[in-house]
């Protein structure tokens, strides 16, 4: 998904440059390069003196921080400090905040499985709305995990009109598609439609790379390039012959 987002942003930028400068570009996105960003979630544990490990939806230096089941859905709880834990623990069991095994973050990091199990037992007995309401009442960061079926009704996506309902003429049914990647404030919304496959194939080349612009670019004189500067590596030298 991360690579797809980078690719979508690169395509949008390339289309803008094509429109402005009549310059055709190539886009290269690799899964390996994008994946380099992922280890940043493991680095805090390493620099704190611990041994990083796969945690799923957990956090390397915060407990409890994970996805937890409820009676009718899932939510994410992001407890980052001891104050969060004391208020959360009081909701689970009035005597739990005084338990020294879990009072300090360092102790909870060593008992991650136990803490997650306790939180899960509490959340599983309540509805999703009930858990979120109680946590938000105690100023504990949390949020519902939206299912795919409910995605187009998620308030933030509805506010931004991020999901469109269109009729797919190829499959003969209504489908959900993402809205425009980049929109400007005050701009009129773009009309989206799914055309027949033959029409898409016929128009795709002209839409992505306009032929007149390619021809104009081919006949245009190349732009002068600045002179290249050569630098020597530190400590290197040349011997005169």
pLDDT at site 17: 82
Torsion of CA 31, 32, 34, 38, to 10 degrees: 120
What pLDDT, on a 0 to 100 scale, did the predictor assign at position 207?
Answer: 47
**Closest C-alpha among 140, 162, 141, 142 to residue 151:** 162
Q: What string of pLDDT tens digits covers the 241 residues of the chain?
A: 788 888 888 898 888 888 887 778 788 888 887 777 777 767 777 777 777 777 888 988 899 999 999 999 999 999 999 999 999 999 999 999 999 999 999 999 999 999 999 999 999 999 999 999 999 999 999 999 998 888 888 888 888 888 888 887 777 888 888 777 666 666 665 665 555 545 555 555 454 444 444 444 444 455 555 555 544 444 433 433 3
Placement of tokens 């796969």 in the chain = 54
- Separation of CA 36 from chain center: 15
State the greatest distance between any 2 C-alpha atoms of the chain, in Å, as a whole number.
Answer: 85
Domains of the chain (ranges, CATH numbers)? 1-36 (no CATH), 41-145 (3.30.1540.10), 147-217 (no CATH)
pTM > 0.85: yes or no: no
Phi-psi region of 233 (alpha: psi -120 to 50; beta: other; left: phi over 0): beta
pLDDT computed for residue 117 by the predictor: 97
């Amino acid at each position: 998904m991360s690579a797809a987002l980078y690719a979508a942003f690169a395509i949008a930028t390339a289309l803008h440059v094509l429109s402005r400068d009549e310059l055709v570009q190539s886009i290269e996105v690799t899964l390996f390069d994008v994946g380099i960003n992922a280890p940043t979630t493991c680095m805090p544990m390493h620099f704190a003196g611990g041994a990083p490990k796969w945690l799923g939806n957990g956090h390397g230096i915060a407990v409890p921080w994970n996805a937890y089941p409820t009676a009718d859905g899932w939510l994410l709880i992001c407890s980052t400090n001891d104050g969060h834990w004391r208020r959360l623990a009081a909701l689970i069991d009035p005597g739990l905040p005084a338990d020294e095994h879990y009072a300090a973050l360092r102790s909870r990091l060593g008992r991650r499985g136990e803490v997650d199990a306790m939180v899960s037992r509490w959340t599983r007995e309540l509805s999703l709305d009930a858990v979120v309401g109680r946590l938000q009442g105690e100023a504990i960061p949390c949020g519902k995990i939206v299912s795919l079926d409910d995605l187009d009704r998620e308030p933030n996506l509805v506010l931004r009109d991020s999901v469109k309902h269109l009729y797919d003429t190829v499959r003969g049914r209504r489908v959900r598609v993402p809205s425009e990647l980049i929109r400007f404030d005050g701009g009129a919304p773009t009309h989206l439609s799914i055309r027949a496959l033959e029409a898409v194939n016929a128009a795709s080349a002209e839409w992505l790379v306009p032929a007149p612009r390619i021809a104009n670019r081919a006949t245009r004189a190349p732009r002068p390039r600045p002179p290249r500067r050569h630098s020597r590596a530190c400590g290197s030298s040349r011997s005169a012959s």
